[in-house]
Amino acid sequence: MNRYVEWMGRYAHASGGFIRRWRAQRMQEMLQRLALPRGARVLDLGGTEALWTLVDHDLHVTLVNLPGSDVRLADPARFAVRYGDACALPELADGSFDLAFSNSVIEHVGDEARQAAFAGEVRRLGRAYWVQTPSDTFPLEAHTGVPFYWRLPESLRARMLARWRARSPNWAYAIEHTRVLPLARMRALFPDGEVFVERKLGFEKSYALYRPAR
């Protein structure tokens, strides 16, 4: 199964692949809805430089990744890197960025307490924010490639994980520690946010909670 997911990932993210196109469309939607000022400062929690190359922009983006990561920048004039835990960044002042942003990260930060801490930092640090997470109702589950994976019986998912651990333990660990968030949970974490629902092929693909700048 993990070989299938790797193959699908290479195809989907290739130039012209459908995931790349969908992400570019979602990024454009974000820019239109937030209407950021020219030269706005963005804090991207857990992100990559590559995502921002999908759209034209004049933003300055600071990427936050975990200590021990080795992030190499192709465009250091427009991008910077910080290392830290996105659930706790006390060295950064309230509202110190025009936008706090994350793309498919909150489902990977840990349990509900850490999700709440992550949401608190997003709301504290950005005058505007945009937090996207995959929907658990989309037929092709984004992390495993298994249709409706999160809706399968827990016993079946446990058997799948046991097989995956034997073949690819690091990948299986990542799946085991992914905690998808229903839209109701996202609304609770971001009570001052508006909702954008991304739909593809007639299904709910992902949702973002966002707050334009006040």
pLDDT in tens, 67-98: 988 889 999 999 999 999 999 999 999 999 99
Domain CATH number, residue 185: 3.40.50.150
- CB count within 10 Å of CB 3 equals 10
In the block, tokens 């509900």 appear at 112
pLDDT at residue 8 tops 50: no
CB 103 within 8 A of CB 120: no
Residue 27 above 80 pLDDT? yes
User: 206 vs 93, 104, 137, 138, CA distance in Å?
Assistant: 30, 9, 9, 8
Helices 2-13, 18-34: inter-axial angle, 10-degree rounding: 60
Read off the amino acid at residue 84. Answer: G
* pTM score: 0.86
Q: Is the pLDDT at 107 greater than 70, yes or no?
A: yes
pLDDT in the model for residue 41: 98
Average pLDDT over residues 21-29: 93
> Per DSSP, what are the bridge partners of residue 63?
44, 81
Domain that holds residue 164: 2-211
Residue 10: pLDDT band by 50, 70, 90 thresholds? very low
* More confidently predicted of 38 and 7: 38
- Report CA 187 to chain centroid distance, whole Å: 16
* Average pLDDT rounded to a whole number, residues 1-21: 54
Residue 2 is predicted with a pLDDT of: 46
CA quadruple 42, 43, 49, 51: dihedral positive or negative? negative
Task: Indicate if the pLDDT at residue 172 is higher than 50.
Answer: yes
pLDDT of 155 higher than 60: yes
Q: Are 113 and 142 within 8 A, CB to CB?
A: no
Split into its structural domains, the chain has a count of 1
pLDDT of amino acid 201: 85
What residue has token string 């092929």? 201
Torsion of CA 152, 158, 163, 168, to 10 degrees: 90
The rounded distance, in Å, linking the Cα atoms of 85 and 159 is: 32
More reliable by pLDDT, 117 or 174: 117
Residue 59 pLDDT: 97
